[in-house]
Structure 1
Amino acid sequence: MDRTYRHQRRIYDATRAFYLLGRDHLIKHLAPPSGGTVLEIACGTGRNLQHIARRYPQTTLYGFDISEEMLSSARAKLGDRAALAYGDACEFDSKALFGVPHFDRIIFSYSLSMIPDWTRALDQALDHLATDGSLHVVDFGRQHHLPTLARRGLNAWLGRFHVTPRHVLPGLLHDMATTRGLALHYNDLHGTYAQHAIMGANPAC
Structure 2
Amino acid sequence: MDAIYRSQRHIYDLTRRYYLLGRDRLIRRLAPPPGGTVLEVGCGTARNLIVAARRWPETRFYGFDISDAMLETARANVAKAGLSGRIVLARGDAAAFDTQALFGVAAFDRVFLSYTLSMIPDWRGAIEAAARALAPGGVLHIVDFGQQEGLPGLFRAALFAWLRRFDVTPRDRLAQAVRVAAGMVGGEMRFTRLYRGYAWAVDLRRH
The TM-score, its normalising length taken from structure 2, stands at 0.94
- Partners of 1:17 and 1:10 in 2: how far apart? 14
- Match of 1:107? 112
Asked if 1:88 corresponds to 2:93, the answer is yes
Q: Cα offset for 1:175?
A: 3.0
Tell me, yes or no, if the aligned pair for 2:46 and 2:74 is still in contact at 8 Å. Answer: yes
Asked if 1:3 corresponds to 2:8, the answer is no
- Match of 1:76? 76
- Aligned pairs for 1:164-203 within 5 A: 164-201=169-206
Moved segments of 4+, more than 6 Å:
none
- Match of 1:51? 51
- Match of 1:29? 29
Report the 3-state secondary structure (helix = DSSP H, G, I; strand = E; otherwise coil) of the residue aligned with 2:30: coil
Report the 3-state secondary structure (helix = DSSP H, G, I; strand = E; otherwise coil) of the residue aligned with 1:176: helix
- Match of 1:156? 161
- Match of 1:117? 122
- Partners of 2:116 and 2:95 in 1: how far apart? 12
Report the 3-state secondary structure (helix = DSSP H, G, I; strand = E; otherwise coil) of the residue aligned with 1:95: helix
Deviation string for 1:79-126 (max 9, x for gaps)?
A: 313110011011111100100011110010000000000000111111
- Partners of 2:18 and 2:110 in 1: how far apart? 26
Q: Cα offset for 1:150?
A: 0.6
Report the 3-state secondary structure (helix = DSSP H, G, I; strand = E; otherwise coil) of the residue aligned with 1:19: coil
Q: Cα offset for 1:181?
A: 2.6
Q: Cα offset for 1:200?
A: 0.8
Deviation string for 1:4-53 (max 9, x for gaps)?
A: 11111010000000100000010011111111000000000000000001
Which structure 2 residue ranges, 5 or more long, are not aligned?
none
The one-letter code of the counterpart of 1:91 is A
The TM-score, its normalising length taken from structure 1, stands at 0.95
The one-letter code of the counterpart of 2:180 is D
Deviation string for 1:159-202 (max 9, x for gaps)?
A: 00000001111122223323433111211111100011110136
- Partners of 2:92 and 2:183 in 1: how far apart? 28
Which structure 1 residue ranges, 5 or more long, are not aligned?
none
- Match of 1:16? 16
Tell me, yes or no, if the aligned pair for 2:185 and 2:206 is still in contact at 8 Å. Answer: no
Q: Cα offset for 1:60?
A: 0.3
- Partners of 1:59 and 1:121 in 2: how far apart? 24
Asked if 1:131 corresponds to 2:136, the answer is yes
Deviation string for 1:116-150 (max 9, x for gaps)?
A: 00000111111111011110000001211111111
- Partners of 1:44 and 1:153 in 2: how far apart? 25
- Partners of 1:102 and 1:201 in 2: how far apart? 12
The one-letter code of the counterpart of 1:6 is R
User: Number of residues paired by the alignment?
Assistant: 202
Please provide the CA RMSD for this pair.
1.1
Identity %: 53
Q: Cα offset for 1:153?
A: 0.6
